[in-house]
Structure 1
Amino acid sequence: MTAHTDPRTTDKSVFPDPVYKETVLRPLFDAVKTHHVAGFRAVDRAHLVMLAETGILSRETASGIARALIEIEREIDPATLSYTGEVEDYFFLVEAELRKRLKPDDNGRLHTGRSRNDIEHTLFKLALKPRLDRLAAQLRALIAAALTLAEREKETLIVAYTHGQPAQPSTLGHYLSAAIEVMLRDHQRLMQARELIDLCPLGAAAITTSGFPLDRHRTAHLLGFKAPLQNSYGCIAAVDYVTGVFSAVELVFLHLGRLIQDLQFWTAFEVGQVYVPNAFVQISSIMPQKRNPVPIEHLRHLASQSVSRARMVRDIVHNTPFTDMNDSEGETQEAGYQTFESGGRVLDLLAALLPALSVDSRRVAETIRRSCITITELADTLVRREGLSFRAAHEVASAVARAVVAADGDLPRDGYAPFVEAFRHAAGREPALSREDFAIAVSPENFVALRERFGGPGPKVLSEALAGYRAELAAAEDAATAIARREEAARRELDAAFTALAGAA
């Protein structure tokens, strides 16, 4: 019979295993150096101030820890550090440095009532907030650029497409207004995601808070959070702040990708209703005639990269346990930060490109002529002025369109004779609509001008809509400014409280 021994009594290995060190611990340490040092310092300071204010630590002890933290910040530049494996991670590096500077009785007292679990989620939220704020500001700048273009071109005719085919005339302002509404809704989703980021996990400790009388509201306030996140288990397990942020970010670029695809289509030689200026055009190295609007291609693939990166973060969390786990932490967040980098490039480039675009009215007019896309208004006019049912009017208009397209004609000029013939056949009488009335009815200008319904491209309702979008954008700017001011005030308050603590006798 084989004797069994407890491996714990024979294990002579030493942490960390070299492969584990290089594949996991070093990359995580380097990521903290890059993204979380400022957050670590703020968390330590806020927690220490709270421990002193609540009396959990004496003022004398807290003051000594504060001075030690200042010494560590002055003497150690994290950017110059290389991971050696002497300590597990950056948190334990600071712990080790504190031990060198504090009395033995004060070692470890800074960690009273907290865990790396709640610290790490607090760090991630602190790192996400400025990234999300910058992305939201870039999105607002894009909305402003789109609004400026929409206001400038609110009466400029374009061809609107459905199923890849010319459908009806509209205006560039009306088209952009649809995109602006989506961008405003996407901005709202970003801000809703930020609401969850703005709830602080610190003080939840490992799972269940602490036996110490921590003031979680105070640390949340000092760190610039709106409030603490309530349930302590949720603080370390409910990573919906991660999925919420990256879901909202993903939608921004998924939706923008559709607008970018239209720009690609509209600038194609065969369509050509939008002109891209030379500043955004690259030439061929071999074909002298080529004008390549390459920035649009970069917009398309960078938007796709941003969608994929955001979706990757969400997918990593799929089917993970509802508990604290590494899947939503270090490497995942590090990968997620790249979403903001590529996404920001999309927003900045598109905000620069949009105002530079112009509509090629000649190409628009030619496409309208060839496609007879104003014929819908002829059917509507026959219902209103001739008393036909819409189905009968639709059949008359369809016959006119077929005849004009077959002859490669111009609807206002060449459509009246086919119209009279089709009308006689459908109604059994002569139309009251004169040739001049017919030409006006099927003109693209008339088509747009008549559509003064709510949400339409008519000049009055479109101007009202654009003014409404301006007001919504201004309100979003004001809200962002208010958040920034609140968080800046919290930073100043933390600095003052910590400085006073460090200077205490």
Structure 2
Amino acid sequence: MAQLWGGRFTKETDQLVYDFNASIRFDRRLYAEDIRGSIAHVMMLARQNILTEAEKEDIIEGLEGILSDVENGKLSISEKYEDIHSFVEATLIERIGEPGKKLHTGRSRNDQVALDMKMYVRSEVRKLDDLLRDLLQVLLSTMEENLETYMPGFTHLQKAQPVTLAHHLGAYFEMFKRDHERLRDLEKRMNTCPLGSGALAGTTYPLDRQYTASLLGFDGPTLNSMDGVSDRDYIVELLSDLSLIMMHLSRFSEEVIIWNSNEYQFVEIDDAYSTGSSIMPQKKNPDIAELVRGKTGRVYGALNALLVSMKGIPLAYNKDMQEDKEWAFDAIDTARHCLTLFTGMLETMQYHKDRMEESARHGFTNATDVADYLVNHGVAFRDAHGIVGRLVLLCIEKNIALDDLPLEEYRKISDVFEEDIYEAISLKTCVNRRVTTGAPGKEAMEQVLEIYRTYLEEN
């Protein structure tokens, strides 16, 4: 057992207790943040004349050597240490001697781990931000290519009204755009530096916390030392944001799974993103979409677990907070992998446009437009609704679409109908007459696409 404390204790910690208490198994991934934070801390200590220039240079050289050796595989992070902070400090002392013992001046592991996690989460937020932008770009490109790809829009999983694939995908663009904006808001809100908060009550050393914050890219120091060491709101907020991202990925995955089914055949998933069956040679399964849908519960679980862990913790730091890391690490990894794979699947997916259009035609998605035709010819809407219901029933009996029903059959139910009914209820007309902002009409969609292009260019 290698630990940085013990003077107050008269016997060794029980090994089971030590193992239960230790976090090195999972916080080892914070090694780079821990070292960078230590370098900034040492630079500040020297600037404040708490360390000499020679001590500063020795410590920084030692820390940079540790960082380089870990990243090059020359130095393994040993689990004999309690946590990543103990490993870095003990290795530094082993390498440079007495100056290394001054590294921890003016700080606690409480503000140290708070700093490490903030720096790590900030870095991961930026990576997730990039992945969301990649997904948005794929969505935009697909939308641009499918302004006239007609398909049924659904409510209650029942065919409702005709839309375009561009319009359908645009709903997901809006969802992931909100996710993108939420992550950016989170980065702004969390960007304060806890280092210098000490264990909970600051320190008597004349630290320049503003300088440390600026060295590490923060907007400034946290303004309350108790909150500085015990704040985990930003991790809860990240897990909440990730849960929303996963919810949107899961909804989209569900649609891909349905569209890929034999009954729909709207899409063909690329072989690189599919798997087969060990017994049924005809199968091509949408495993990526199914796994994304399944892993959503994993991220939800992380959010709930951290909320429950934090709900009864008094100020300031308590060991319960160590639980934040495994949940956060797993949720970040899960969301990152899901975004990467889903984007690749979406980019390579083929759409069966004829099948989509035929499904819209035979799903009576233009029934509302038949009613609108009657209303525009002076029929009260409630009467028009009943007339169209009878027409749909007739088409069901004949197993044909409204477009295929002869004019004489229309006129048997209402003599208002003329030859122009067929143009009025064509999918192209039904869609393109919807020109209000947010509607699927080509004119409205082109305006929205321009807004989306500008958004991606500016972000």
TM-score by length of 2: 0.89
Supply the distance in 1 between the matched residues of 2:219 and 2:9 (Cα, whole angstroms). Answer: 49
**Alignment CA distance shift 1:301-1:398 (3 Å):** same
Kindly indicate whether residue 175 of structure 2 is the aligned counterpart of residue 175 of structure 1. Answer: no
Identity between Structure 1 and Structure 2 (%):
28
Aligned residue among 392, 409, 413 for 2:400? 409
Supply the distance in 1 between the matched residues of 2:330 and 2:164 (Cα, whole angstroms). Answer: 37
Q: Could you say which residue in structure 1 is the equivalent of 2:25? A: 30
| 1:70-469 alignment, distance < 5 Å | 79-84=75-80, 88-96=82-90, 108-329=101-322, 331-384=323-376, 386-414=377-405, 416-423=407-414, 430-431=415-416, 433-435=417-419, 437-469=420-452
Deviations 1:485-504 (A, max 9, x none): xxxxxxxxxxxxxxxxxxxx
Give the CA deviation at 1:205: 1.1
The answer (yes or no) to whether the contact 1:253–1:303 under 8 Å persists in 2 is yes
Supply the distance in 2 between the matched residues of 1:60 and 1:290 (Cα, whole angstroms). Answer: 68
Aligned residue among 35, 42, 63 for 2:36? 42
Unaligned runs of 5+ in 1: 1-10, 424-429, 477-505
Supply the distance in 1 between the matched residues of 2:271 and 2:329 (Cα, whole angstroms). Answer: 33
Give the CA deviation at 1:78: 8.6
Give the CA deviation at 1:453: 1.1
The answer (yes or no) to whether the contact 2:433–2:441 under 8 Å persists in 1 is yes
The answer (yes or no) to whether the contact 1:36–1:123 under 8 Å persists in 2 is yes
Higher relative contact order (CA 8 A, sep 6+): 1
Supply the distance in 1 between the matched residues of 2:198 and 2:180 (Cα, whole angstroms). Answer: 33
Counterpart secondary structure, 2:153: strand
Number of residues of Structure 1 aligned to a counterpart in Structure 2: 450
Give the CA deviation at 1:474: 2.0
Give the CA deviation at 1:220: 0.9
Give the CA deviation at 1:196: 3.0
Supply the distance in 1 between the matched residues of 2:421 and 2:335 (Cα, whole angstroms). Answer: 49
The answer (yes or no) to whether the contact 2:150–2:360 under 8 Å persists in 1 is no
Supply the distance in 2 between the matched residues of 1:288 and 1:101 (Cα, whole angstroms). Answer: 60
Deviations 1:49-101 (A, max 9, x none): 1112123334455445445545766888795243346xx54434554556567
Supply the distance in 1 between the matched residues of 2:422 and 2:69 (Cα, whole angstroms). Answer: 82
1:403 partner letter = L
Give the CA deviation at 1:200: 1.0
Counterpart secondary structure, 1:272: coil
| 1:477-492 alignment, distance < 5 Å | none
TM-score by length of 1: 0.82
**Alignment CA distance shift 1:395-1:216 (3 Å):** same
The answer (yes or no) to whether the contact 1:156–1:359 under 8 Å persists in 2 is no
1:16 partner letter = T
Supply the distance in 1 between the matched residues of 2:406 and 2:160 (Cα, whole angstroms). Answer: 18
Larger Rg: 1
Deviations 1:419-472 (A, max 9, x none): 32333xxxxxx41x412x111122111110111111011111101111211211
Counterpart secondary structure, 1:457: coil
Give the CA deviation at 1:415: 5.6
**Alignment CA distance shift 1:95-1:394 (3 Å):** same
